[in-house]
Chain A
Amino acid sequence: MTKKTSSTILSCLFWGSGQFFIGKQKLKGILFFVAQVLLFGIELISGYWFNFFAGQIPDFQIRLYGGYFTQGIWGLLTLGTVPGEDHSTYLMIHGIMSLMFLMTFLGIYIWNIVDAYCTGKAIEDTHTYLSSRAYGKKLYQKMFPYLVLTPILFVVLYIVVMPIIFSILTAFTNYNVNHLPPANLVQWVGLDNFKKLISIPIWSQTFVIVLVWTVIWAFLATFSTYFLGLFQALLINSKYVKHKSLFRSIYILPWAIPGMISLLMFRNLFNGQFSPLNQFLLDCGLIHSRIPFLSDAFTAKITIVAVNLWIGFPMFMVMLLGVLANQDVTLYEAAEIDGANKFQVFRRIKLPLLMKATAPLVVMNFVGNFNGFGFIYFLTNGGPNNSALQFAGDTDILISWIYKLTLDQNMYNMAAVLNILIFILVGVASYWNLKNTTAIKEM
């Protein structure tokens, strides 16, 4: 048998043994073996496997006697079998985590086998033995990125990826107010929730109405702020204005003030009952009855867009002022020499250049508004309520509807379905935004 075959077979059975016996790389072999011991050790010690092998447990159930990994997989597959005792969401999270651990060990196992093969092959080819230390040095050079990134990868896996997997999986369960662990069990239901969203009229209608308003809102919010920002930037930049930095400093304030504070401030300014603004207008005799700024569906939508305009235009204004400061004036002069008037220069040259320079920013802002939870939540909390909609108010956008479904209604499964849909919508928009940028091409 050749060295590479025997080394590979050995390492398949006992991790690192190929490296240890055939390759004479003691330290590396031991490290691989430690990984195997860890994997089996965790499983055996956390479970009741020894008692089982000793015949002490006649009625063996993974639910009660399995180890960390087998119990994890069992939990993920069944989501519990005994109501009141099994906690389905714990089991699900535990299952996802143990699966991620298993994948890590699988990765080490495959690396171990590939490495055993390579070690054996290197010995046959060169007839020299590479020491663990030399290998370690080579590894440090070659594997440096992996070594540094592994701890960070784990943080991201646990805090960012695990919840996302959980959230996606929830869409395929009946985790809602009627199936709340620990009193009740959650079950896998396949695509039922997606079918429900399409086939049950109140769900599909609410979804369409909320989606349409979300898109309208995102469009209005993005373009109103963009064009006011553009207009103010052009005015500030005009030759008549001497105190450019004064106006710039005033206009930047709404961007600088924390958004939540501004939104809560406006919520009070526009308060239906006690609105000081209404009182002021009444006192001046400008209106005869209070304006329902936030309590009438249509007025509330206008109010939200107007407040967003106040908060959002400075960002575009500052960005466009930056672009204007760096523009190439000769282009405009050339056009004027060619006989174009001021308006033509603006319409045909300046505006397209500005738009092109800020297009990615516009798309990013659009996505931000699409998921602009704060605007809705802090201003109206989605209200006024609308009984024709399933748990949504007139001004609710998708993300605030999801928030309500989760926190107020405990309909985690439907929230998760909507979550996946938002992810797809945002993903497509961002892909379209970024596909032609150098960042992606030169990745």
Chain B
Amino acid sequence: MKERISSFLVHFELIVVSLFVLIPIVWIILSSFNPGDSLASSSLIPKKLTLYNYIRLFQETNYLVWFKNSFLIATFTAVVSVVLIMITAWVVSRFRFKCRRLGLIGLLLLSMFPNFLSMTALYTLYLTMGLLNHPLALVIIYAAGAIPYNVWLVKGYLDGISKEIDEAAYIDGCSYFSTFFKIILPMSKPIITYCAVSQFMFPWMDFIMPSMLLSTDNDNTTVAIGLYNMIAGKENDKFTMFAAGSILIAIPITILFIVFQKYLVQGVAAGANKG
């Protein structure tokens, strides 16, 4: 009997929390199918469902262009940052050189500096170089900004791969780089996956850099900014359209997260211990 009561209580709690987790999600999904325009006219449970908001999203806004911008920025950032991170981490993990300690401490310090506070300088730098309003110019900021934290992370991972393996490769006549490509990279797939996915997801939803460096001009902005602008005004007449737009970008990211959750969990755990 006691067992049964405990079992009931445990399940009851789990189901209540599940409801708290699910209700807001269900609400926003239903809102996107709500016939009204604004928050005021969208009740918690809509009376009738329609695709009107999704159609409006594609007809009245440049959603596809924003989506393309975000996608390109995120993809390039993932690729460029993984290349930079892997090479740097490999060198600091495998080679001993004079400035190594200094460099590692420097990277650690840099990773503690709240990066968006450098926005004033980056704005001026981009202004002088004529890079404002170029979505792809953001890639270099994201990629460089990812180096300090992730190099520590990946270095920790690479330190865990036995050095005897690469020494064997050197004896067999491999050069530094062929060892890197043939031995190190294949063995660090999990951490590469983590870096690539997290570096894809971060720019996808970043708000500060695009809001500083891209104009709100419809063609050069990203999904994050576009969506924010829909509900930033006081009128609140685009709420259901915002809901539709949010669903469309939340779905791929959520799926990406769930597919790669094993790597993401490992990455977060390693990050707390710096590898």
Q: Would you call B272 and A374 a contact (CB within 8 A)?
A: no
In this assembly, does B183 line the interface, its C-beta being within 8 Å of a C-beta of chain A?
no
- Whether the Cβ atoms of B269 and A276 lie closer than 8 Å is no
Q: Are B118 and A164 in contact (CB under 8 A)?
A: yes
Distance in angstroms from B16 CB to nearest chain A CB is 11
Interface residue from A268, A315, A440 paired with B231 (Cβ < 8 Å): A268
Q: A166-B120, A260-B207 are in contact. Are A152 and B84 (CB under 8 A)?
A: yes
Q: Which of B97, B120, B144, B254 contacts A156 (CB 8 A)?
A: B144
How close is B210's CB to chain A, nearest CB, in angstroms? 12
Q: Which of B60-112 contact A (CB under 8 A)?
A: 84, 87-88, 91-92, 95, 97, 99-101, 103-104, 108-110, 112
Kindly supply a per-residue 1/0 record for chain A positions 191-223, scoring 1 wherever the CB is within 8 Å of any chain B CB and 0 otherwise.
000000000000000000000000000000000
- Comparing B47-55, B187-195, B242-250, the segment that makes contact with chain A is B242-250
Q: How far is the CA of A378 from the CA of B166 in the complex (A)?
A: 48
For the complex, is B22 an interface residue (Cβ under 8 Å from A)?
Answer: yes
Q: How many residues of B contact A (CB 8 A)?
A: 91
- Is A98 an interface residue when CB atoms closer than 8 A count as contact? no
A152 and B273 contact, Cβ closer than 8 Å, known pairs A235-B14, A255-B257, A279-B44 = no
> Which residues does chain A contribute within 8 Å of B257, judged by CB atoms?
255-256
A100 interface contact, C-beta 8 A: no
On whether the beta carbons of B272 and A423 are closer than 8 Å, the reply is no
**B44 pairs with A276, CB closer than 8 A:** yes
Query: How many angstroms from the CA of A374 to the CA of B115 in the assembled complex?
Result: 14
* Beta-carbon contact of A371 and B159 below 8 Å: no
Binary contact readout B144-182 vs A (1 if CB under 8 angstroms, 0 otherwise): 110110001000100100000000000000001000000
Collect the chain B residues with CB atoms within 8 Å of residue A249's CB: 258
Complex: chain B residue closest to A142, CB-CB? B97
In angstroms, Cα B92 to Cα A171, docked, is 33
Interface centre among A155, A240, A412 (most CB of B within 10 A): A240
- Report if B58 contacts A (CB, 8 A): no
Chain A residues whose CB sits within 8 angstroms of the CB of B120 once the complex forms? 89, 163, 166-167, 170, 406, 412
* Chain A residues with CB below 8 A from B87, complex form: 148, 152
Cα A261 to Cα B204 in complex, Å, equals 11
Closest to B143 in A: A155
- Contact call A251/B21, Cβ cutoff below 8 A: yes
Which chain A residue has the least Cβ–Cβ distance from B141? A159
Question: Does the CB pair A439–B273 fall under 8 Å?
Answer: yes
* A65 interfacial by beta-carbon distance below 8 Å: no
Given contacts A259-B205, A319-B269, contact A268 B88 (CB under 8 A): no
Q: Does A277 contact B (CB under 8 A)?
A: yes
Interface string of A146-173 (1 = CB under 8 A from B): 1011001001101111111011001000
The answer to whether the Cβ of A258 comes within 8 Å of any Cβ in the partner chain is yes
Output the least CB separation between A210 and chain B (Å): 15
Select A256's contact among B3, B242, B258, beta carbons within 8 Å. Answer: B258
CA distance A358 to B272 in the complex (A): 9
Query: How far apart sit A163 and B40, CA to CA, in the bound complex (Å)?
Result: 44
Q: Are B268 and A252 in contact (CB under 8 A)?
A: no
B residues within 8 A CB of A259?
205
Complex Cα–Cα for A263 and B207 (A):
13
A269 close to chain B: CB less than 8 A: yes
Complex CA distance for A256 and B253, rounded to whole angstroms: 7
Residues of A within 8 A of B274 (CB): 434, 437, 439-440
Residues of chain B lying within 8 A (CB to CB) of residue A402:
117
Which B residues lie within 8 Å of A442 (CB)?
A: 159
Checking B13, B44, B145, B228 against A160 with a beta-carbon cut-off of 8 angstroms, the contacting residue is B145
Residue from B11, B88, B117, B144 in contact with A415 in the complex, judged by beta carbons closer than 8 Å? B117
Q: With A256-B258, A264-B228 as given contacts, are A419 and B246 in contact (CB-CB < 8 Å)?
A: no
Among B17, B100, B141, chain A packs the most CB atoms within 10 A around the CB of B17
Q: At the interface, yes or no: B218 with Cβ under 8 Å from chain A? A: no
Please determine whether A276 and B144 come into contact, CB atoms closer than 8 angstroms. no
Q: Across the interface, do B261 and A144 meet the contact criterion of CB distance under 8 Å? A: no
Closest to B201 in A: A258
Can you list, as one digit per residue, whether each of B126-150 has a CB less than 8 Å from chain A (1) or not (0)?
0010000000000011011101100
Does A90 contact B128, Cβ atoms closer than 8 Å? yes
**Chain A, range 248-288, C-beta contacts under 8 Å to B:** 249-262, 264-269, 271, 273-277, 279-280
A170 to B119, CA, bound (A): 13
A83 within 8 A of B: no
Taking the closest CB of chain A, its distance from the CB of B211, in whole angstroms, is 9
Determine if B11 and A241 form an interchain contact, defined as CB atoms under 8 angstroms apart.
yes
Chain A residues lying within 8 Å of B119, measured Cβ to Cβ, are: 163, 406
Residue contact B14 to A163, C-beta cutoff 8 Å: no
Looking across the interface, which residue of chain B has its beta carbon closest to that of A267?
Answer: B231
Q: Choose among A145, A164, A250, A269 the residue that contacts B95 (Cβ–Cβ < 8 A).
A: A145
Q: How far is the CA of A359 from the CA of B109 in the complex (A)?
A: 21
Query: Do A240 and B261 touch across chains, with their CB atoms under 8 A apart?
Result: no
CB-defined contacts of A156 to chain B, threshold 8 Å: 110, 144, 147-148
Known: A253-B21, A279-B44. Contact between A93 and B121, CB under 8 A? Answer: yes
Q: Which of B7, B20, B95, B250 contacts A144 (CB 8 A)?
A: B95
A residues engaging B (CB < 8 A)? 89-90, 93, 144-146, 148-149, 152, 155-156, 158-164, 166-167, 170, 232, 235-236, 238, 240-241, 247, 249-262, 264-269, 271, 273-277, 279-280, 310, 315, 318-319, 322, 358, 360-361, 363-364, 371, 373-374, 377, 399, 402-403, 406, 412, 415-416, 419, 422-423, 426-427, 430, 434, 437-440, 442-443
A-B pairs with lowest CB-CB distance, top 6: A163-B118, A163-B121, A159-B144, A166-B121, A256-B257, A240-B7
Return 20 A-B CB contacts under 8 Å, by A number: A90-B128, A144-B91, A155-B147, A156-B147, A163-B121, A164-B118, A251-B18, A265-B24, A265-B28, A274-B39, A276-B42, A276-B44, A279-B43, A280-B43, A360-B272, A361-B272, A402-B117, A422-B117, A423-B113, A434-B108
Known: A145-B95, A160-B148, A319-B268. 5 other contacts (CB 8 A): A90-B124, A93-B128, A155-B147, A163-B119, A443-B104
